[in-house]
C-alpha cells in the first residue's frame, strides 16, 4: 500500500524534472516492493482481532517514517531532520525543521503534503479498530446493529471514509485554486488542510497567502476534516438525518467559536491589537489550533502567555473521533464531563435508584468510559513527562509545554523550540510524542505489549 502511495510523488518528481528526488523515491518503492513479496505468501487471518488491528496500524506508522526519511536525506537534510520531517508528515503534525520552504523543490513540498494526506486518511480509517470492540460506539459510526457485523464492516467503513475524504479533497483543491490562482499551492494546502496537517507552501503559512479569502477557505477545509468523516457519508448518502444531531457535529464548531473569542480578547488586551486584527488572528489561529491543523496567521513567538495557554488547551483537546484531527478528542472530554455530572447527581439520588450516563441520546458503556478516561490520563502523563524532559534540556518553561502539546496533539504550531539547532535527543522526543499522539498512545502500547506477538489468538469459529 505504501509503495503504491509513494508512486504519486515519484510521478510528480519526474514531471517537475527533479531526477534526484525521483531516483530516491524509486529506491524507496523498490525496498517496499521487496518487503511486500514475502508478505504475499502469508495467508491473512480470517478475522482480525482488535489488538492485531491496533498493532498493525501502529507498526505502519512507525515504519513508514523510517522508510520515507530517505528521500528527505537525498534532498540535503540531515538524517535526524529527515526523520523528524517524515514523522511530522505521516502523523499530520506539521512541525518542521526547514528554515524556509522556498529553499526546497516543489516535488519535496508535494511529497510532504501528500504524506500528510494519506496519514490523515489512515488515522481516520484506523478509528474503526478502536470501535470494533465497543458496540455502542460502532453503531453510532456505522449504523450496524450486531456485534457480529462489526469486523465485517471494516471494509465498508473504510470505503465510506475514503469516499468522503476524496470528495472533500477535490472540493478543497478547486476552491483554493480559484482563490489562489496557483494550482500547486492550491494542491499543497488542500492536502494539508483536509488532513489537518498544516504543512504550508509559504514560509509565513496563512499570512503568506496572496488572497484574502484563501486563509478562511483553508481553515474551513480543516474544520471539515476535523469532523467525523463517516458521518458525511451516513447523512448524505444514507439519509440518516438523525446523525446531524450527533454531539460531535455541534460540539467542535461551538468550541472553536469559544476558543476564537477568548483568543481574540487575549490578543486585544495583552498585545494591544485592534479589534479587527484580534478577531482575524484569534478566529483563524484559534480554529487552526482546535482542529489541530497548525496553520498560522502570525508567529506564536509574538503571542503573550495568556494566548499561548489558550492555544495549549485547544491543541490538547483537539477535534472529533473518526476525523483526521489529533488531540485527546472532544468526545472523550464530553464523556468525562458527563461522568463527573453523573457522579455529582448520583449523590442526590436514593441508594436504590437506577441511572445511567447518557450522551447523544444513548447510554454509555462502562468499557467505553474506561477507555476514554484511560486515553485522557495517558495523554496528560505523556505531556507532563515530555515537558519535564524539555525543561531539563534547557528550553523555556511555557514554550516547552507549548511545543510538547503541539507535538502530542499533532498540531504543528511552534513556539520557536523546533528548529535545526534543537538537540538531537529533544527532536527524537518530539518524534515519539507525535507518534504517541497520532496513535492515541494505546495502539503503540499494544504494539509493544508482548502477548500481542506470542499470545494465543481467539478462536472465532
H helix runs in 46-134, sequence order? 50-74, 79-90, 106-131
Crossing angle of helices 305-317/247-271, nearest 10°? 170
SS3 395: coil
Widest Cα–Cα separation across the chain: 75
Residue 428, pLDDT score = 98
* φ, ψ of residue 359 in degrees (nearest 5): -150, 125
| Distance in angstroms between the alpha carbons of the first and the last residue of the chain | 29
Distance CA(379)–CA(5), nearest Å, equals 30
Eight-state DSSP code of residue 416: S
Residue 241, pLDDT score = 60
Alpha carbon distances (Å) from 242 to 43, 238, 239, 246: 41, 11, 9, 8
E strand or H helix that includes residue 186: helix 183-194
Instruction: Spell out the per-residue pLDDT of the chain, length 461, in tens.
Output: 777 899 999 999 999 999 999 999 999 999 888 876 666 666 666 666 777 777 888 888 999 999 999 999 999 999 999 999 999 999 999 999 999 999 999 999 999 999 999 999 888 776 655 554 444 444 444 444 444 444 446 677 778 888 899 999 999 999 999 999 999 999 999 999 999 999 999 999 999 999 999 999 999 999 999 998 888 877 776 666 656 667 777 899 999 999 999 999 999 998 889 999 999 999 999 999 999 999 999 999 999 999 999 999 999 999 998 899 999 999 999 999 999 998 888 777 776 666 778 887 778 888 888 989 999 999 999 999 999 999 999 999 999 999 999 999 999 999 999 999 999 999 999 999 999 999 989 888 888 887 766 655 555 44
Distance CA(430)–CA(408), nearest Å, equals 8
C-alpha of 335 from chain center: 20
Distance CA(229)–CA(254), nearest Å, equals 18
Residue 156, pLDDT score = 76
Specify the length of the chain in residues: 461
Q: Are 100 and 300 in contact (CB under 8 A)?
A: no
SS3 79: helix
Distance CA(62)–CA(64), nearest Å, equals 6
Q: Are 317 and 290 in contact (CB under 8 A)?
A: yes
Amino acid at each position: 500500500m505504501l509503495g503504491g502511495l509513494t508512486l504519486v510523488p515519484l510521478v510528480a518528481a519526474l514531471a517537475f524534472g527533479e531526477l534526484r528526488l525521483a531516483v530516491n523515491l524509486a529506491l524507496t518503492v523498490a525496498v517496499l516492493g521487496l518487503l511486500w513479496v514475502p508478505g504475499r505468501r502469508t495467508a491473512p487471518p480470517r478475522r482480525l482481532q482488535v489488538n492485531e488491528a491496533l498493532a498493525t496500524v501502529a507498526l505502519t506508522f512507525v515504519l513508514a517514517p523510517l522508510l520515507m526519511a530517505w528521500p528527505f536525506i537525498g534532498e540535503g537534510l540531515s538524517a535526524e531532520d529527515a526523520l523528524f520531517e517524515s514523522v511530522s508528515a505521516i502523523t499530520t503534525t506539521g512541525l518542521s525543521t526547514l528554515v524556509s520552504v522556498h529553499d526546497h523543490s516543489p516535488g519535496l513540498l508535494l511529497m510532504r503534503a501528500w504524506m500528510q494526506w494519506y496519514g490523515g486518511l489512515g488515522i481516520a480509517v484506523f478509528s474503526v479498530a478502536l470501535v470494533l470492540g465497543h458496540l455502542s460506539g460502532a453503531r453510532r459510526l456505522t449504523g450496524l446493529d450486531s456485534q457480529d457485523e462489526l469486523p465485517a464492516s471494516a471494509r465498508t467503513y473504510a470505503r465510506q471514509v475514503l469516499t468522503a475524504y476524496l470528495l472533500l479533497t477535490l472540493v478543497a483543491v478547486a476552491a483554493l485554486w480559484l482563490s489562489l490562482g496557483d494550482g500547486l499551492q492550491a494542491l499543497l494546502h488542500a492536502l494539508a488542510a483536509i488532513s489537518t496537517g498544516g504543512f504550508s507552501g509559504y514560509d509565513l503559512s496563512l499570512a503568506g497567502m496572496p488572497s484574502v479569502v484563501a486563509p478562511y477557505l483553508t481553515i474551513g477545509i480543516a474544520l471539515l476534516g476535523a469532523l467525523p468523516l463517516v458521518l458525511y457519508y451516513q447523512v448524505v448518502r444514507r439519509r440518516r438525518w438523525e446523525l446531524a444531531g450527533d454531539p460531535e457535529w455541534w460540539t467542535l464548531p461551538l468550541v472553536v467559536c469559544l476558543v476564537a473569542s477568548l483568543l481574540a480578547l487575549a490578543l486585544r488586551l495583552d498585545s494591544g491589537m485592534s479589534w479587527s486584527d484580534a478577531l482575524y488572528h484569534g478566529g483563524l489561529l484559534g480554529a487552526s489550533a482546535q482542529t489541530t491543523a497548525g496553520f498560522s496567521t502570525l508567529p506564536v513567538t509574538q503571542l503573550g502567555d495568556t494566548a499561548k495557554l489558550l492555544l495549549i488547551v485547544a491543541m490538547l483537546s483537539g477535534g472529533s473521533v473518526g476525523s483526521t484531527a489529533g488531540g485527546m478528542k472532544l468526545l472523550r472530554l464530553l464523556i468525562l464531563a458527563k461522568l463527573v455530572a453523573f457522579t455529582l447527581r448520583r449523590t442526590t439520588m436514593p441508594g436504590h435508584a437506577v441511572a445511567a450516563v447518557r450522551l447523544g441520546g444513548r447510554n454509555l458503556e462502562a468499557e467505553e468510559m474506561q477507555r476514554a478516561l484511560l486515553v485522557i490520563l495517558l495523554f496528560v502523563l505523556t505531556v507532563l513527562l515530555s515537558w519535564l524532559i524539555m525543561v531539563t534540556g534547557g528550553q523555556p518553561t511555557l514554550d516547552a509545554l507549548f511545543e510538547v502539546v503541539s507535538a502530542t496533539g499533532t498540531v504543528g504550531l511552534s513556539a520557536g523550540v523546533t528548529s535545526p539547532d534543537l538537540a538531537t535527543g529533544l527532536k527524537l522526543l518530539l518524534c515519539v510524542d507525535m507518534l504517541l499522539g497520532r496513535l492515541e498512545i494505546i495502539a503503540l502500547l499494544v504494539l509493544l505489549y508482548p502477548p500481542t506477538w506470542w499470545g494465543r489468538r481467539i478462536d472465532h469459529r
